[in-house]
């Protein structure tokens, strides 16, 4: 294992923060996978999964089973980890700018496309390698003034040339679920099965450029540009050169060695299926659990509290709820008024707020329906 440290641009003289990445295998000798934990720094389960994964990858490296390079960023956000307000951690938003740490990743499309001044003349594999070199160049040339921009540049630089990118998060209280694009879903579906993940939310761009989309969506867009120039159909292999997903490892309090060990094992099985780890007989087949529900992210409906008060859930996470069915209540502790919260759709109740006293209008739950009913920006703030 090779440990690399990447200093962030300092906010003030005399201060220093850095991102640490762990590198297994040999760079450039085969495919590349990147897994990063807790870009939202208050989402703890991924950091423990990363520790179990680190030990597993060390063993695999010792056994000579890493193909190419696997990069693990075990704690991706030193800015967020250092933020506290009134003793409460603040890891989702950058306090200096108010920006969400997993939004606004730079889009390299125009920069890279501008340097592809003619259709590449190589085969697909050669084109992918040439485009990755351009991406690395353009990432290194991104303007960086703030520490947050510096963090984004470092994380994107580590992952932009990877074949597989898994960004590990957790929700507030939730069942396991993941986000990817409809095109990539067939390549991500074995991950859902290995993790026993019951829900995948699919979108061709969720609206605010999260990390996984910055790594993956540039490829189909570049393939479409090149196809336009050549008059041919987009190259499907080029379109899927980076398979990326955001994995929500349940809720923020679901931290246990048992869960983390199981999740790390599932990630290794997926890395094996993707060709990043040489297979041996006992790890070739993931446990084939029932297929995850693959639903449009635009059908995932956030539900707001109708009044402020004490929040009481009537249904458990993972329940299927009918449109109009009350799944929670908010109780006004002064008047005693109780207002039912009904599901807006037939769907899977998959995520909810961990607080039990809520403000009027606060988002308290997400229910995944089948119909694509929303448009515009699809992710929460
Ligand atoms: Zn997150």
Interstrand relation of 309-313 and 293-296 (parallel, antiparallel or unpaired): unpaired
Task: Give CA 141 to chain center in angstroms.
Answer: 24
Distance CA 365, CA 302 (A): 6
> In this structure, what are the phi and psi dihedrals at residue 341, rounded to the nearest 5 degrees?
-110, 115
**Cα 169 to ligand 1 centroid, rounded to whole Å:** 4
**Cα 100 to ligand 1 centroid, rounded to whole Å:** 9
**Cα 281 to ligand 1 centroid, rounded to whole Å:** 35
> In this structure, what are the phi and psi dihedrals at residue 197, rounded to the nearest 5 degrees?
-90, 120
- Torsion of Cα atoms, 269 then 273 then 277 then 280, to 10°: 80
**pLDDT for 109:** 94
**Cα 135 to ligand 1 centroid, rounded to whole Å:** 25
Q: Give the pLDDT confidence of 245-298 residue by residue, as tens digits.
A: 999 999 999 999 999 999 999 999 999 999 999 988 655 555 556 677 899 998
CB 303 within 8 A of CB 321: no
**pLDDT for 377:** 77
**Cα 40 to ligand 1 centroid, rounded to whole Å:** 5
**Beta carbons within 8 Å of 174's beta carbon, 6+ residues apart:** 248, 250, 251, 317, 350, 351, 352
What is the Cβ-side half-sphere exposure of residue 322, based on CA atoms within 13 angstroms? 2
**Cα 119 to ligand 1 centroid, rounded to whole Å:** 38
**Cα 38 to ligand 1 centroid, rounded to whole Å:** 7
**Cα 317 to ligand 1 centroid, rounded to whole Å:** 18
**Cα 31 to ligand 1 centroid, rounded to whole Å:** 26
**Cα 248 to ligand 1 centroid, rounded to whole Å:** 7
**Cα 161 to ligand 1 centroid, rounded to whole Å:** 22
**pLDDT for 380:** 73
In the structure, ligand 1 is a single-atom ion and the residues with CB under 5 Å from it are 40, 43, 169
If you search the block for the tokens 């190259």, which residue do you land on?
235
**Cα 19 to ligand 1 centroid, rounded to whole Å:** 18
All structural domains of the chain, each given as residue ranges with its CATH number in brackets, are 2-291 (3.40.630.10), 298-369 (2.40.50.100)
CB 219 within 8 A of CB 161: no
Q: What is the SS3 assignment for 228?
A: helix
CA distances from 28 to 63, 67, 72, 163 (A): 19, 10, 16, 12
**Cα 174 to ligand 1 centroid, rounded to whole Å:** 12
**Cα 37 to ligand 1 centroid, rounded to whole Å:** 10
**Cα 232 to ligand 1 centroid, rounded to whole Å:** 38
Q: What is the DSSP letter of 10?
A: P
Distance CA 347, CA 369 (A): 4
- Token digits of residue 74: 């075990």
**Cα 43 to ligand 1 centroid, rounded to whole Å:** 6
**Cα 322 to ligand 1 centroid, rounded to whole Å:** 27
**Cα 64 to ligand 1 centroid, rounded to whole Å:** 33
**Beta carbons within 8 Å of 320's beta carbon, 6+ residues apart:** 346, 347, 348, 349
**Cα 216 to ligand 1 centroid, rounded to whole Å:** 18
CB 81 within 8 A of CB 128: no
Which residue ranges in the chain fall short of pLDDT 50?
Answer: none
**Cα 114 to ligand 1 centroid, rounded to whole Å:** 33
Distance CA 155, CA 149 (A): 10
**Cα 243 to ligand 1 centroid, rounded to whole Å:** 19
**pLDDT for 156:** 98
CB 215 within 8 A of CB 109: no
């Amino acid at each position: 294992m090779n440990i690399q440290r990447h200093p962030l641009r300092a906010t003030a003289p005399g201060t220093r923060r850095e991102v640490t990445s762990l590198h297994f295998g040999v760079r450039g000798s085969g495919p590349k996978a990147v897994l990063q934990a807790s870009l939202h720094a208050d989402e703890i389960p991924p950091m423990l999964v990363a520790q179990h994964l680190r030990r597993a990858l060390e063993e695999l490296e010792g056994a000579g089973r890493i193909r190419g390079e696997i990069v693990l960023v075990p704690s991706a956000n030193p800015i967020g980890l250092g933020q506290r307000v009134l003793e409460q951690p603040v890891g989702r938003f950058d306090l200096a700018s108010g920006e969400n740490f997993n939004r606004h990743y730079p889009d390299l499309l125009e920069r890279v496309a501008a340097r592809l001044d003619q259709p590449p003349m190589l085969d697909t594999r050669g084109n992918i390698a040439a485009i990755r070199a351009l991406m690395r160049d353009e990432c290194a040339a991104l303007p960086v003034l703030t520490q947050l921009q510096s963090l984004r540049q470092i994380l994107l630089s580590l992952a932009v040339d990877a074949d597989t990118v898994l960004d590990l998060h957790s929700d507030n209280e939730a069942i396991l679920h993941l986000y990817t694009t409809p095109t990539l879903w067939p390549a991500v579906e074995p991950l859902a099965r290995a993790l026993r993940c019951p829900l995948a939310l699919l979108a061709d761009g969720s609206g605010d450029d999260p990390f996984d989309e910055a790594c993956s969506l540039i490829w189909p867009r570049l393939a479409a540009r090149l196809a336009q120039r050549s008059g041919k159909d987009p190259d499907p292999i080029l379109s899927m050169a980076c398979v990326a997903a955001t994995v929500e490892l349940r809720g923020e309090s679901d931290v246990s060695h048992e869960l983390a060990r199981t999740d790390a094992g599932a990630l290794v099985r997926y890395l094996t299926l993707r060709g990043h780890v040489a297979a041996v007989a006992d790890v070739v087949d993931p446990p084939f659990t029932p297929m995850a529900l693959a639903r449009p992210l635009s059908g995932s409906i956030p539900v707001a509290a109708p009044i402020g008060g004490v929040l009481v859930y009537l249904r458990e996470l993972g329940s299927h709820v009918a449109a109009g069915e009350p799944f929670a209540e908010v109780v006004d502790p002064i008047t005693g008024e109780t207002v039912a919260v009904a599901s807006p759709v037939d769907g899977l109740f998959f995520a909810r707020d961990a607080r039990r006293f809520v403000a009027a209008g606060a988002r308290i739950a997400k229910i995944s329906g089948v119909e694509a009913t929303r448009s515009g920006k699809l992710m929460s703030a």
